[in-house]
Structure 1
Amino acid sequence: MATNTQAGTGPVWDWAAGHGPVTGALSATTGCLAVATTGAATGMPPGWALTVGAAGAIGHTVSSLRERLSARTVAMRAASWLVGAGWTTWAMTTGPLSWAALGSLATIGVGMGAAARSTLLYEEVRELEAIAAAERQVAAELSAERRAIAAEWVDRVQRVCGITVRVLAVESWPTGTGFTIDAELPPGGATYDRIAGYSAQLSADARLPHGCTATASQGIDQGRVLIDVTTVNVLVEERTYPTDYGPLSIHTGIPWGYRTNAQEICVHLREQCALVVGPTGSGKTNMVHVILAGFARTTDVLTWVIDLNAGSAGLPWVRPALDANGAFVEGMRPGIDWLASTYEEALTMLETALAVGHHRKVAYQDLMAERNTDQLPISAKIPQIMLVIDEGAEILISSDKRMRKLAEKILEVIRMLRAMGIRTVLTALGATGAVLGNLMIRREAKARVCLTGGEVEGMDLGKIFPGSRGLKVTQAPYQGAGFMGTPESPAALFKNWRILPNQIRDIVTATTDLHPTLDTISARAAGPAYARRWDATRTAWMRDHLNHAADTAQSPQSHAAGGGLNLSALRGSNDTDADALAAEFMQQIDAKFGTAPEPDATPPAPPAPEPPAPAEGLNLSALREPKSHNAGPAWLPEAVDAIESAGATGMKPSAVADLVGRSRQAVRDALKAAAERGEVVYRDNGPHSVYIHPDHA
């Protein structure tokens, strides 16, 4: 039969707990009574009880001193042992069961309890006071350090900026990389801008390490200023992208890097566009991958990528999810939703985005009225579309007719589809007036990034961050480092994480289940152009590398026969088809005119055909003489490739010199000779003269 083990109501005894004032006194008195009764009945010598009490008093005194208890507690414990031992000795002599013995024992017990309670309270107060004293000492030491910092920086600001401020607080950063000074500006109309303009001078006066700055920003009101002082250079080290691939949202911000205080900086792109500027070698491509990684983790964003440079920015995010036949790997989706690498595909993508945006304006009127908002409520069911356009700023300033058509579509997306949740992220090679001259870019791209990588040419920070003072390119000489400003965070130093191809594959795998799908209304407006974006015919260029090895194994004759131009310049002298055609032609001539060679005559060898003049017909590489390896220095091909990658913007001789590690005079001479040979084109524009590849001239 089962037993009910449920405990009943009433007091619960904790036998493992120590004695308190009441239980301690009760235990001592009952112990004395038991010893006295037993001793009187057995004839125990009374002196034994007194000896035991004295030993107990000595033992408790020693243990109390080790615990560093107060003298009051030590005296109370020793007295309790001696009084109890004295009563036990007296009771064994006179009888422990008399009313006098029992009454005196009860009085002793009450006295012990009261004394124990009093000393316990005293020890608690004493302990609290010791803790408070220690905290006061730490606070005093910290306050002394802060007062020293405050006094030092009051003097420095006065000496460098000519302003006398009053420091209200000094807060050390949890990361241990610097501190923030909260100061009050003097009366008379002084603003924080006056201190912000002296950032470089303050940093030098404070002897801060390279990569560390002292920057001023707005305080809690217009009469206060915050001075962020970085003491540890976190930009010099390379940090990989965080391995936490948890879900994000367009509403809560997407991390793009970290500040000099080692804290993440997030961008909010629900209503604004973004612009990323970075020359060759500054880490711009890596920055694009960091941006795509953030979008891949969001549960309410679909990413469309336009990269006319063979789609290189988006391919790493697509290939892990596609097999050799163009089908999706089971259980995987690409890290981006659409990739365009050609003009035609890019134009289709932009027209689709416009169609989706315009249709959303009409189809979601009831939903916006229900939510009482004039902006489309973006969620996982109605995702935002982010158009990432690599070197999109260069498309906007291109003089090419086709590029101008793309530019019109891009500007229309930026201008008209903010409320409908379609925004853009453009990249550019330089922060120049030509790139940033478009008012639409400056007005809508409020999240701006300028990666410098130590490059000075074409890095006008005043154009990309107007109104910001004290920013110098030399403060961020590291690859992946630069400046970043958003409406929520003023322009300041930052660095993005390093992200490698194997990590991209991991992110694509980990975020497959996070990607939303285009809502039904938008998908209907997008039509077949969107629905068939991953068809094998439209993604065949992504898998050309699989057939490359087989193609290179074929002979030149098989390439000529398989397709393309059948050029005689590429055929050998033993062309059987040409010989047969010539023989048939001669037979027709003989039949018509009766001509024939003399019996003993030896036909002369036909003269070698001369190549056509370079100015006539097609300028075919097969007909050109091979270039001499001595036509230029060994580093010239690398320089020409870099100039070609720079596109229509071109490269200055100084930038080429920094790239190849040669003197500027040597680079100028080599490029001048290359221009005479037609390998590059020189565009004379005074101090802004550049060399351009012929394909972009």
Structure 2
Amino acid sequence: MPTNPATSTGPVWDWSAGHGPVTGAMSATTGALAIATTGAATGMPPAWALAVGAAGAIGHTATSLRDRLSARTIGMRAASWLLGAGWTTWAIATGPLTWAALGSLATLGVGIGAASRATLIHEEARELEAIAVAERQVARELSAERRAIAAEWVDRIQRVCHVTVRVLAVEQWPTGSGFTIDAELPPGGTTYDRIAQHATQLAADARLPHGCTAIASQGIDQGRVLIDVTTVNVLAEERTYPDQYGPLSIYTGIPWGYRTNAQEICVYLREQCALVVGPTGSGKTNMVHVILAGFARTTDVLTWVIDLNAGSAGLPWVRPALDDNGQIVDGMTPGVDWLASTYDEALLMLDAALAIGRHRKVAYQDLMAQANTDQLPVSPKIPQIMLVIDEGAEILASTDRQMKELAKKILEVIRMLRAMGVRTVLTALGATGAVLGNLMIRREAKARVCLTGGEVEGMDLSKVFPGARGLRVDQAPYKGAGFMGTPESAAALFKNWRILPNQIRDIVTATSALHPTLDATSATVAGDAYANRWAPERTAWMRDPHRPTPAAVTEQGRPGGLNLSALREQPPAAESEADALARQFREQIDAKFATAPERGKAEDRAERPAGLNLSALRGSDEDNAAKDAALALLLAAGPEGTGASAIARALTNAHGTSRQTVVGWLKTWSDDGTAVRIGTGTKTRYVHHHHAPPEGQ
């Protein structure tokens, strides 16, 4: 009966293994006995065995020299061949089956085995010693380099910061882009701040390349300091989003970019909100896509997006999962779980989030008691809801009645639903007091990103990272680069990856199976607003570019030629979003400062005699709207003020206004007292007279 190898209990031979001291000696002696016996029986000349042995000794000597073996090993191998050949020659001549022949062969085998074992141990020791010598050599070289770095930076810190430190260690970064110095501060109460405030001077003294920094942070205790020195500017190069789309968790962190040492930096948003600040052209939209990519890979997060700019931030994450009829493609789920592009849809989404959060507080009491926690145990079965609100900080600062209603609900979500797994990621166009003045944002948004792209106007880093030292906008002049700070990582330079539309489609496809579904308890209270979010009639605007978004207003085109609107009563043309913002600010300005009434109001038309309306000769409506929008932006800038470049950039998309035109308006307003000019040259900024400081201050 055949034997099953898997159940065999006998010895297992590895025929591919090499010979050791015992098997090698046995093989040599049995081989010599077989040759001697065969040679004696057939009358083979004894000298042949001696010739073969000599050839084997010469061959093994050559290979041993090639392998750089020790002289002891080479001599043992050559002697084994020659002794074996000598015994075989003698045994063929005298007879191999005598007691003398067999005894001498056994003695020879024992000697060969013992010698092999001794030389093997010697070779292993010799190899280990060679490795140790090489390691010591590398250590000496590294130690010398580290000692040189330590001495150089001790002298530099003394010279620049007037602080004498003792360097305990220098760690070279694996990426080769810099190193970290671990130093002990002098006694007497010196803190790491003494060094941190001189980061710019240290970098200049070290002649670091542009974009490289020397940032000091807290050490292992309050008497130690860590100084991260970047020697290679990794922020200058563009890196694409990593093509590994494996699953993530809200608990294990979500990568949002990489530091100057080329290491990923992750955010942990189970309990905290996030704030992303970035002016036009800084890479903020790309940053939003990086954030959505991370959430799409997370198995315990559902992403809801509010973007009142036609939903542009979330559309690339939805369209790959919808067919031409607006139905979800089989086997696919959108990269975001809900997308709101209008006020009404955003209101539905926020109401659903609030209802879910309140209901979870009651429905999951038993679950939280079992887990012995006062926070909802987020999991793929009960996912966290992340509300990504593009330009959400501007919504919170808006004075518009509808935006105030949205702001009220957003703040309620931030304030009430942390424990129940509903958090927000807000974006903002600028780091100004008008935008970041809300205490709730500053207190709850502990993960903060400020993309600069080299922009200086409206980028007050101290408002985003209060207390952080050594941060300057000109350190991150590249698109997608800026500063990032979290409770786990101090504010410092970083850059996010470039993510392109084709990669977004790939991520949506690759992560469709990872997305969780809203727990039944939460889905019930969310109601039809959530259940029908992908209904074809609610997503028609995503597929048809000529169809307006639900409840959205669109600007109607005017016929060319002479405007005879004074001779006919027509409903006013729908306002664009920019015009609506300008109108609201005009009304506020008129009410507060008693400015001149706007042309075209009903009371003006009542006093105006009937006839041909030639108001176009007094300046186009578009020019007036652009000028009013510029004045609104000046007022919204608050005491910080703004400049011509910032206003022109804000008006470019809506009105196509040039910077030169804005400069003329600002000069006129400065002359008539509407605005106050502060500074000269490139530092010039304008402040609305309502926010201007009193004279003499």
- The offset of 1:530, in angstroms, is 3.1
- The offset of 1:382, in angstroms, is 1.9
Q: Quick one: structure 1 residues 569 and 657, their matched pair in 2 at CA, closer, same or farther if it must change by over 3 Å?
A: closer
Match of 1:652 among 640, 643, 652: 643
User: Does the Cα contact within 8 Å between 1:24 and 1:113 map onto a contact in 2?
Assistant: yes
Q: Quick one: structure 1 residues 153 and 19, their matched pair in 2 at CA, closer, same or farther if it must change by over 3 Å?
A: same
* Structure 2 counterpart SS, 1:183: strand
Q: Quick one: structure 1 residues 23 and 318, their matched pair in 2 at CA, closer, same or farther if it must change by over 3 Å?
A: closer
- The offset of 1:654, in angstroms, is 4.0
* Structure 1 counterpart SS, 2:545: helix
Q: Quick one: structure 1 residues 566 and 326, their matched pair in 2 at CA, closer, same or farther if it must change by over 3 Å?
A: farther
Aligned ranges 1:476-495 → 2 under 5 Å: 476-495=476-495
Aligned ranges 1:630-645 → 2 under 5 Å: none
Alpha-carbon distance in 2 for matches of 1:267, 1:456? 26
User: Does the Cα contact within 8 Å between 1:675 and 1:682 map onto a contact in 2?
Assistant: no
Alpha-carbon distance in 1 for matches of 2:674, 2:252? 46
Alpha-carbon distance in 1 for matches of 2:35, 2:445? 91
User: What does residue 607 of structure 1 align with?
Assistant: none
Q: Quick one: structure 1 residues 102 and 276, their matched pair in 2 at CA, closer, same or farther if it must change by over 3 Å?
A: closer
Match of 2:686 among 668, 680, 689: 689
- The offset of 1:221, in angstroms, is 1.8
Q: Deviations over 1:431-453 (max 9, x none)?
A: 12222222211111111111111
Deviating more after overlay: 10-19 vs 266-275: 10-19
Q: Quick one: structure 1 residues 654 and 68, their matched pair in 2 at CA, closer, same or farther if it must change by over 3 Å?
A: same
- The offset of 1:128, in angstroms, is 1.9
User: Does the Cα contact within 8 Å between 1:256 and 1:496 map onto a contact in 2?
Assistant: yes
User: Does the Cα contact within 8 Å between 1:280 and 1:646 map onto a contact in 2?
Assistant: no
User: What does residue 215 of structure 1 align with?
Assistant: 215
- The offset of 1:343, in angstroms, is 2.9
User: What does residue 616 of structure 1 align with?
Assistant: 605
Deviating more after overlay: 307-316 vs 88-97: 88-97
Alpha-carbon distance in 2 for matches of 1:519, 1:321? 22
Aligned ranges 1:527-542 → 2 under 5 Å: 527-542=527-542
* Structure 1 counterpart SS, 2:435: coil
- The offset of 1:476, in angstroms, is 0.5
| Counterpart residue identity of residue 312, structure 1 | S
Alpha-carbon distance in 2 for matches of 1:90, 1:415? 100
| Counterpart residue identity of residue 523, structure 2 | A
User: What does residue 435 of structure 1 align with?
Assistant: 435
Aligned ranges 1:378-457 → 2 under 5 Å: 378-457=378-457
Aligned ranges 1:291-690 → 2 under 5 Å: 291-323=291-323, 325-546=325-546, 568=568, 615-616=604-605, 624-625=615-616, 648-649=636-637, 652-655=643-646, 670-671=661-662, 673=664, 684=675, 686-687=677-678, 689=686
User: Does the Cα contact within 8 Å between 2:200 and 2:213 map onto a contact in 1?
Assistant: yes
Q: Percent identity?
A: 74
Alpha-carbon distance in 2 for matches of 1:283, 1:245? 22
User: What does residue 161 of structure 1 align with?
Assistant: 161
* Structure 1 counterpart SS, 2:605: coil
| Counterpart residue identity of residue 373, structure 2 | T
Alpha-carbon distance in 2 for matches of 1:162, 1:530? 62
* Structure 2 counterpart SS, 1:512: helix
Consecutive unaligned residues of structure 1, counting only runs of 5 or more, are: 558-564, 571-610, 693-697
User: Does the Cα contact within 8 Å between 2:644 and 2:666 map onto a contact in 1?
Assistant: no
- The offset of 1:92, in angstroms, is 5.2
Please state if 1:67 is matched with 2:67.
yes
User: What does residue 573 of structure 1 align with?
Assistant: none
Q: TM-score, normalising length from structure 2? A: 0.79
Q: Quick one: structure 1 residues 639 and 57, their matched pair in 2 at CA, closer, same or farther if it must change by over 3 Å?
A: farther
Q: Deviations over 1:374-409 (max 9, x none)?
A: 111212222222222222222222233333333222
Deviating more after overlay: 458-467 vs 526-535: 526-535
Alpha-carbon distance in 1 for matches of 2:102, 2:660? 118
- The offset of 1:424, in angstroms, is 1.5
| Counterpart residue identity of residue 429, structure 2 | L
- The offset of 1:668, in angstroms, is 7.3
User: What does residue 589 of structure 2 align with?
Assistant: none
Q: Quick one: structure 1 residues 97 and 348, their matched pair in 2 at CA, closer, same or farther if it must change by over 3 Å?
A: closer
Please state if 1:174 is matched with 2:174.
yes
Q: Quick one: structure 1 residues 24 and 638, their matched pair in 2 at CA, closer, same or farther if it must change by over 3 Å?
A: farther
Alpha-carbon distance in 2 for matches of 1:642, 1:500? 33
- The offset of 1:345, in angstroms, is 3.1
Consecutive unaligned residues of structure 2, counting only runs of 5 or more, are: 549-553, 560-564, 571-599, 679-684, 690-697
Please state if 1:188 is matched with 2:188.
yes
| Counterpart residue identity of residue 625, structure 1 | A
- The offset of 1:91, in angstroms, is 4.7
Please state if 1:130 is matched with 2:130.
yes
User: What does residue 595 of structure 1 align with?
Assistant: none
* Structure 2 counterpart SS, 1:470: coil
| Counterpart residue identity of residue 236, structure 1 | A
User: Does the Cα contact within 8 Å between 2:634 and 2:686 map onto a contact in 1?
Assistant: no
Deviating more after overlay: 340-349 vs 293-302: 340-349
Alpha-carbon distance in 2 for matches of 1:438, 1:555? 39
| Counterpart residue identity of residue 646, structure 2 | A
User: What does residue 287 of structure 1 align with?
Assistant: 287
* Structure 1 counterpart SS, 2:433: coil
User: What does residue 592 of structure 1 align with?
Assistant: none
| Counterpart residue identity of residue 513, structure 1 | A
Deviating more after overlay: 71-80 vs 450-459: 71-80
Q: Deviations over 1:67-106 (max 9, x none)?
A: 3222222333333344444445555555554444443343
- The offset of 1:472, in angstroms, is 0.8
Q: Deviations over 1:157-199 (max 9, x none)?
A: 2222222222222222222222222222222222222221111
Alpha-carbon distance in 2 for matches of 1:144, 1:359? 64
Aligned ranges 1:34-45 → 2 under 5 Å: 34=34, 36=36
Q: Quick one: structure 1 residues 103 and 682, their matched pair in 2 at CA, closer, same or farther if it must change by over 3 Å?
A: farther
Q: Quick one: structure 1 residues 388 and 93, their matched pair in 2 at CA, closer, same or farther if it must change by over 3 Å?
A: closer
Q: Quick one: structure 1 residues 647 and 495, their matched pair in 2 at CA, closer, same or farther if it must change by over 3 Å?
A: farther
Alpha-carbon distance in 1 for matches of 2:614, 2:316? 38
Alpha-carbon distance in 2 for matches of 1:353, 1:182? 46
- The offset of 1:459, in angstroms, is 1.3
User: Does the Cα contact within 8 Å between 1:656 and 1:667 map onto a contact in 2?
Assistant: no
Q: Quick one: structure 1 residues 121 and 685, their matched pair in 2 at CA, closer, same or farther if it must change by over 3 Å?
A: same
User: What does residue 597 of structure 1 align with?
Assistant: none
| Counterpart residue identity of residue 294, structure 1 | G
- The offset of 1:107, in angstroms, is 2.9
| Counterpart residue identity of residue 689, structure 1 | Y
Q: Quick one: structure 1 residues 332 and 644, their matched pair in 2 at CA, closer, same or farther if it must change by over 3 Å?
A: farther
Q: Quick one: structure 1 residues 209 and 93, their matched pair in 2 at CA, closer, same or farther if it must change by over 3 Å?
A: same
Q: Quick one: structure 1 residues 660 and 525, their matched pair in 2 at CA, closer, same or farther if it must change by over 3 Å?
A: closer
Alpha-carbon distance in 1 for matches of 2:484, 2:83? 79
| Counterpart residue identity of residue 311, structure 2 | G
Q: Deviations over 1:236-286 (max 9, x none)?
A: 122222233332222222221111112221111111111111112212222
Q: How many residues align?
A: 630
Alpha-carbon distance in 2 for matches of 1:292, 1:156? 43
Q: Quick one: structure 1 residues 685 and 104, their matched pair in 2 at CA, closer, same or farther if it must change by over 3 Å?
A: same
Alpha-carbon distance in 2 for matches of 1:98, 1:537? 105
Q: Deviations over 1:313-340 (max 9, x none)?
A: 2333333344555443444333223333
Alpha-carbon distance in 1 for matches of 2:514, 2:42? 85
| Counterpart residue identity of residue 337, structure 2 | D
Alpha-carbon distance in 2 for matches of 1:139, 1:249? 40
- The offset of 1:37, in angstroms, is 5.1
User: What does residue 205 of structure 2 align with?
Assistant: 205
User: What does residue 693 of structure 2 align with?
Assistant: none
User: Does the Cα contact within 8 Å between 1:652 and 1:691 map onto a contact in 2?
Assistant: no
User: What does residue 112 of structure 1 align with?
Assistant: 112
